[in-house]
């Protein structure tokens, strides 16, 4: 039976998250999404920084986006509203399984059988990465919890983090990643790049070859993210620079409540600080902007060449990536051309259709 529709307040607010209690569900879902993500890893064409392997936040949970298989595409979605996993392909075939309390071993068997039922044959390395206790999926009877409320709460947190992180990305015109959910570290992340190569990363992630991190951090970057921690102070936004420039740890950042965590090696801002703020969106944006500026300025980035001013609340009417920083782009609602935009939308012109994929 389809889940009941959620109220606008529940969908649109920054909800309190049950992080002190959700660890059993988080640990199980972490292993499930590693299995799903490894299928994308095995089949998608490689992209720099491992951009071909993450999942993405969707309107119902997490998705792989389309994955190529021979001459067709398929997609895997984890639905945290109706609590099911759905595999669909470009031939119109589908497979679904219920998300409920079940061991990783059982999930792995059912999921791989579902792929085979669609004629998709794929082998994955059946050991989780970036975790200390790497139990092979086919043997993992330890992780078997699934609380639907906790899974949905995780998704609610991801929704808000994904939204504000995407908004932050619009002011940067250099190389930048999408907002991506990395299933190894189980966090949402987005990176900006200076355009210069980075020193070789030393690696050190548990049960993960060092060369994997060497590829991930092959260029100078400034990164932000959101991590659904189950330990105090709970879920948090984070920000770091690689390589870390001198003075970064002690740089002043906003808002109050943000600090540098020496153990993690990054700035952190608890989710609860953000959600309790008078303007949660602006609070998150202040953290992203101030930590980026600290890393870029101390690292000697060419900021005038990498940034532009692009308000987030109105669509541009002319190119903005070629404007000098501080120059105002033409925006809808600022001149007589606004009328033509509205007429185009009413008559279903090409302006209604997105021009670029995610």
Q: Tell me, what's the pLDDT at 312?
A: 64
In this predicted model, what pLDDT tens digit does every residue of 294-308 receive, in sequence order? 999 999 999 999 998
Q: In the predicted model, is pLDDT for residue 117 greater than 60?
A: yes
pLDDT of residue 321: 75
pLDDT of residue 174 exceeding 50: yes
Residues paired with residue 238 on neighbouring β-strands, in sequence order: 225, 268
DSSP 32-65: HHHHHHHHHHHHSPP-GGGTTS-BEE-SSEEE--
What share of the chain has pLDDT > 90, as a percent? 82
- CA–CA dist 273, 267 (Å, integer): 14
CA distance 344 to 350: 8
Say whether pLDDT at 348 is over 60: no
User: Do residues 201 and 193 lie in contact, with contact meaning Cβ atoms separated by under 8 Å?
Assistant: no
For the segment 219-267, what is each residue's pLDDT rounded down to a tens digit? Answer: 999 999 999 999 999 999 999 999 999 999 999 999 999 999 999 999 9
pLDDT tens profile 142-165: 999 999 999 999 999 999 999 999
Average pLDDT over residues 280-307: 97
**pTM exceeding the 0.85 threshold for the entire prediction:** yes
Domain boundaries, the chain: 15-146, 149-304, 317-358
Distance (Å) of CA 129 to CA 57, 205, 292, 294, 344? 21, 8, 29, 31, 49
């Amino acid at each position: 039976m389809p889940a009941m529709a959620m109220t606008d307040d529940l969908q649109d607010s920054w909800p309190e998250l049950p992080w002190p209690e959700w660890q059993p569900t988080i640990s199980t879902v972490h292993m499930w999404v590693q299995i799903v993500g490894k299928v994308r890893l095995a089949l998608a064409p490689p992209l720099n920084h491992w951009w071909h392997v993450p999942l993405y936040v969707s309107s119902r949970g997490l998705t792989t986006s389309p994955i190529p298989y021979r001459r067709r595409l398929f997609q895997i979605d984890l639905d945290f509203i109706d609590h099911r996993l759905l595999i669909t392909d470009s031939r119109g075939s589908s497979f679904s399984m219920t998300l409920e309390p079940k061991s990783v071993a059982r999930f792995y068997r059912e999921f791989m059988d579902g792929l085979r039922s669609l004629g998709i044959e794929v082998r994955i390395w059946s050991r989780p990465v970036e975790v200390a206790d790497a139990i092979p999926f086919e043997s993992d009877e330890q992780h078997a919890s699934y609380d639907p409320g906790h899974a949905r709460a995780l998704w609610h947190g991801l929704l808000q983090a994904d939204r504000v992180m995407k908004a932050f990305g619009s002011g940067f015109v250099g190389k930048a990643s999408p907002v991506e959910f990395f299933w190894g570290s189980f966090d949402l992340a987005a990176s900006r790049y200076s355009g210069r190569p980075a020193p070789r990363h030393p690696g050190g992630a548990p049960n993960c070859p060092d060369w994997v991190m060497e590829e991930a951090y092959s260029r100078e970057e400034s990164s932000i993210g959101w991590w659904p921690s189950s330990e105090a102070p709970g879920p948090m936004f984070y920000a770091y620079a690689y390589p870390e420039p001198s003075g970064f740890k002690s740089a002043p950042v906003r808002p109050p409540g943000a600090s540098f965590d020496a153990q993690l090696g990054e700035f952190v801002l608890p989710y609860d600080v953000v959600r309790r703020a008078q303007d949660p969106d602006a609070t998150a944006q202040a953290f992203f902007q101030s930590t980026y500026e600290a890393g870029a300025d101390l690292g000697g980035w060419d900021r005038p060449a990498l940034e532009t001013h692009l308000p987030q609340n109105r669509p541009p009417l002319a190119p903005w990536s070629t404007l000098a920083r501080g120059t105002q782009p033409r925006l809808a609602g600022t001149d007589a051309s606004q009328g033509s935009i509205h007429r185009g939308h009413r008559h279903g012109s090409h302006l209604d259709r997105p021009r670029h994929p995610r």
